């Protein structure tokens, strides 16, 4: 591995530009000062203050001193959130001005931040926007410095969202995605969203995600995997008699990877299954049973094997 290799000139120039664009002006350090000495447990004070902030529903009193150096974030989800938030986003940007920044407006999620200089008046105006969103049936989650302090409405944290990730060969991915989209429309499931994942070259990763507790429709899983209840298509890795599986843990989820030397498909399960082989076996088996596929998943001699029954 050559650590001396350099990037092409064009990328090097972009690095230089980013260096300039992110340079901090030569100024004395501005610590996130409080107007009084912080208590022994700053976090506890901040959280307590934040709870006080949000506990009163009709207005949003905020003690500036207790939030200096912190950021309040507001996340919103729910059907129709994207449309409602495009106007809310504009309103928040307008209200915050130089006091804050709207970070994200993506799909049905929204994330905005207030800087330490947000004053009480600003917070009250923000609260009016939040109240409007709640009155539209949306869920609002308020966090202080990343810690969730208050939830309004039936909020489902994205990490608790039910989902299935699949990896498709690039050449068949477009067709599969179209099929999935059509099925989602046919089923009227406006809570189901598709997300493209970063994945290996030659493959397209898709996550099918939905924001409620219902089971993901079986048809979506089958079609996402390129399967149907009538049998296994020829190009499916599951068409072979026996397959090796391997698992990879990353960022809170366990990927179960199927490969037969030609094709790779991935099933991703939320949670850490390292060292819990029997539980992982059950979880993977349950996925196949749910798909009405007749396979056994076994842990043999330190290796996962999938066998057709």
Partner 1 sequence: MTEPPINLTWTRLERLLQPIHESAQSTCRRLCRNNEEGDDLFQESVLRAYDRLSSLREESSFRSWFFVILLRIHRDRSRRSFWQRFLPLEEVPAPPAVPGGGDFEEDYLRAKRLRLALGQLPTEQREALVLFEMEGFSVSEIADLQSVSPSAIKSRLSRGRSRMRDCYERWNLIDVKQADSSNTKDREHGHS
Q: Taking a C-beta distance cutoff of 8 angstroms, is the pair 227, 235 a contact?
A: no
3-state DSSP assignment of residue 104: strand
Residue 170 sits in the site that holds partner 1 (CB under 8 A): no
- Binding to partner 1 (CB under 8 A) within 172-191 occurs at 177
**In 3D, which of 88, 146, 145, 89 has the Cα closest to residue 116?**
145
- Tally the C-alpha atoms within 13 A of residue 80's C-alpha that lie toward its C-beta: 7
Smallest distance, Å, CB 82 to partner 1? 12
Residues for the chain: how many in total?
309
Task: Determine the Cα–Cα distance for residues 221 and 217; give it in Å rounded to an integer.
Answer: 7
Site track 113-152 with partner 1 (rule: CB under 8 A), x = hit = x--x----------------------------xx------
Q: Taking a C-beta distance cutoff of 8 angstroms, is the pair 140, 190 a contact?
A: no
Task: Determine the Cα–Cα distance for residues 154 and 134; give it in Å rounded to an integer.
Answer: 10
Total residues binding partner 1 (CB under 8 A): 60
Binding partner 1 (rule: CB under 8 A), the pick from 11, 51, 218, 286 is 11
Binding partner 1 (rule: CB under 8 A), the pick from 24, 58, 98, 300 is 24
Smallest distance, Å, CB 306 to partner 1? 27
Task: Determine the Cα–Cα distance for residues 297 and 283; give it in Å rounded to an integer.
Answer: 10
Residue 48 sits in the site that holds partner 1 (CB under 8 A): no
Residue 302 sits in the site that holds partner 1 (CB under 8 A): no
Nearer to partner 1, 37 or 300 (CB): 37
Within 8 A by CB and 6+ apart from 183, the residues are 217, 219, 220, 223
- Binding to partner 1 (CB under 8 A) within 194-253 occurs at 194-198, 201, 207, 251-252
Smallest distance, Å, CB 212 to partner 1? 16
Q: Which stretch binds partner 1 (CB under 8 A): 67-75, 85-93, 125-133, 296-304?
A: 67-75
Residue 98 sits in the site that holds partner 1 (CB under 8 A): no
Side by side, the strands of the sheet bearing 109-114 are 100-106, 109-114, 72-77, 139-144, 147-152
Within 8 A by CB and 6+ apart from 97, the residues are none
Q: Taking a C-beta distance cutoff of 8 angstroms, is the pair 153, 139 a contact?
A: yes
Smallest distance, Å, CB 293 to partner 1? 27
Binding partner 1 (rule: CB under 8 A), the pick from 7, 90, 172, 187 is 7
Contact residues: partner 1, CB under 8 A: 1-11, 13-15, 17-24, 26, 29, 31-32, 35-38, 42-43, 69-71, 101, 103-104, 106-107, 109, 111, 113, 116, 145-146, 157-159, 161, 177, 194-198, 201, 207, 251-252
């Amino acid at each position: 591995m050559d650590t001396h290799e350099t990037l092409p000139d064009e990328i090097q120039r972009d690095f230089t530009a980013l260096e300039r664009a992110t340079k901090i002006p030569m100024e004395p350090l501005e610590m996130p000062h409080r107007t009084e000495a912080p208590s022994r447990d700053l976090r506890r004070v901040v959280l307590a203050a934040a709870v006080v902030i949000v506990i009163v529903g009709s207005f949003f009193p905020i003690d500036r001193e207790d939030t200096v150096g912190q950021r309040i974030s507001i996340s919103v989800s729910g059907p129709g959130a994207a449309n409602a938030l495009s106007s809310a986003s504009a309103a928040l940007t307008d209200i915050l001005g130089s006091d804050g920044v709207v970070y994200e407006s993506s799909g049905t999620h929204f994330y905005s931040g207030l800087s330490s200089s947000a004053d009480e008046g600003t917070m009250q105006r923000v609260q009016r926007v939040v109240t409007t969103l709640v009155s539209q049936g949306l869920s609002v989650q308020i966090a202080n410095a990343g810690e969730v302090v208050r939830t309004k409405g039936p909020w489902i944290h994205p990490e608790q969202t039910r989902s299935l990730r699949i990896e498709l060969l690039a050449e068949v991915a477009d067709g599969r995605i179209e099929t999935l989209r059509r099925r989602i429309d046919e089923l009227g499931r406006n809570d189901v969203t598709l997300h493209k994942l970063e994945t290996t070259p030659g493959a397209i990763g898709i996550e099918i995600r939905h924001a409620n507790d219902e089971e993901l429709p079986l048809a979506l899983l089958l079609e996402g995997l390129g399967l149907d209840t009538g049998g296994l298509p020829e190009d499916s890795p599951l068409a072979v008699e026996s397959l090796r599986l391997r698992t990879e843990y990353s960022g809170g989820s366990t990927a179960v990877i199927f490969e037969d030397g030609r094709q790779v498909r991935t099933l991703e399960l939320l949670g850490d299954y390292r060292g819990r082989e029997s539980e992982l076996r059950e979880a993977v088996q349950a996925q196949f049973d749910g798909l009405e596929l007749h396979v056994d998943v076994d842990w043999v001699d330190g290796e996962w094997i999938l066998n057709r029954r």
